[in-house]
Amino acid sequence: MSSNSVRDKIRAATVGSKKQYRKELVELEGAQVEVRQLSLLERRDYMSASLDKESNSVDLLKLQVNAIISSCYVPGTDEKVFEDTDEKAIGNSITGGYADTLWEAIQRLSNFSVDDAKKN
């Protein structure tokens, strides 16, 4: 097998493959939210928006809120549940409530955790 055909096979299995994002339905008081795995670019965007420029550290609340806004959809559609204008309301939600439930699903789907954010 030539190196070009090996390369072509690798590229077909990676950058040339159809994206199949994982998703998870999360039940919130009788309503379902579809939490979706994000692309690396989408994850970078919400993480960048969570960076405190002065201290060069991650604001964990902003990280969690931005991830929730970016990852939650009305099931079976491309309609996001939350908007950027919901940032304060999500941030003011109670601990152990819907935001933490959604955040746990996001972490499972993204292979990313708060501990990872603290390292960077």
- Average pLDDT along the chain: 89
What pairs with residue 51 in β-bridges? 58
Instruction: Determine how many CB atoms are found less than 10 A away from the CB of residue 105.
Output: 21
- Residue partners of 60: CB distance under 8 A and separation at least 6: 50, 114, 117, 118
The topology under which CATH files domain 19-119 is rbstp2171 (3.30.2220)
pLDDT per residue over 43-63, tens digit each?
888 888 888 888 888 899 999
20-29, 42-51, 82-91: least confident range: 42-51
